[in-house]
Amino acid sequence: MSITFDPTTLLYAVVEYLKSTEHLYDPVNHKPEHDGQYRLVCLAPNADDAARLAHLLRAMDDGTYWYSVCVTEPEPLLDDKAQVIPGDIQSVEMEPLNPAL
């Protein structure tokens, strides 16, 4: 299976993380259990759809998690010999969306 990606088309990610988290740096494939962990919920083709879904998830949540929207960025293509050095990866600061959306 492959997923095509057009870098000229922006996608919007809905992410889930603990409300106490200030920086996101550890992607997980389960519900986040520690500060800094986040889970990708979905990708949406426009910001309005992503914001609506984040708002709906907030309304259904028990208050443990927060859902925000951010613009996705393609990962740089690495050749076979290239390595990603963890110190080179910067953490992401998330700004929660206005819950009134």
The alpha carbon of 7 is separated from its chain's Cα centroid by a whole number of angstroms, namely 17
Average pLDDT of the chain is 79
Predicted confidence (pLDDT) per residue in 13-37, tens digit: 999 999 999 899 999 999 999 999 9
Task: Look at the pTM and tell me if it is higher than 0.85.
Answer: no
Predicted confidence (pLDDT) per residue in 56-78, tens digit: 999 999 999 999 999 987 766 66
Q: Which sequence spans correspond to the domains of the chain?
A: 12-75+85-93
Buried-state track 13-24, b at ≥16 Cβ within 10 A, e below 16? bbbbbbeebeeb
